[in-house]
Amino acid sequence: NAGVTQTPKFQVLKTGQSMTLQCAQDMNHEYMSWYRQDPGMGLRLIHYSVGAGITDQGEVPNGYNVSRSTTEDFPLRLLSAAPSQTSVYFCASSSYQGSPETQYFGPGTRLLVL
């Protein structure tokens, strides 16, 4: 049971480039989400999904796209990277069974935009 996995671990982009951050979970969780972590600001919700085919915006969605074609995968796309998107990105998942508020986090992707 791998839990929540994220790739890549570290990425450097130039301004204007695009890329996809991958997130996968093997716990059959319905709920998945993306956060960014910035110094002094904690974690802020970018987008979330309550199930395959359903996504919604969080607190800071601008510049990011998501889709959820399967239960397992929830990729985050940066369409045109900007230096303001330099951050650490965490994917998380949880289930509506048991304790739905308990989220399981991936190890993070550190992104540097030059």
Is the CB of 4 or the CB of 113 nearer to other proteins?
4
Question: How far apart are the C-alpha atoms of 106 and 39, rounded to whole Å?
Answer: 19
| Per rule CB under 8 A, count of chain residues that contact other proteins | 28
Q: Which residue in 11, 50, 65, 86 binds other proteins (CB under 8 A)? A: 50
Q: Is 48 in the site for other proteins (CB under 8 A)?
A: yes
Nearer to other proteins, 9 or 14 (CB): 9
Check residue 89 for interaction with other proteins (CB under 8 A). no
Per-position b or e across 72-107, b if 16+ CB within 10 A of its CB: bebbbebeebeeebbbebbbbbbbeeeeeeebebbe
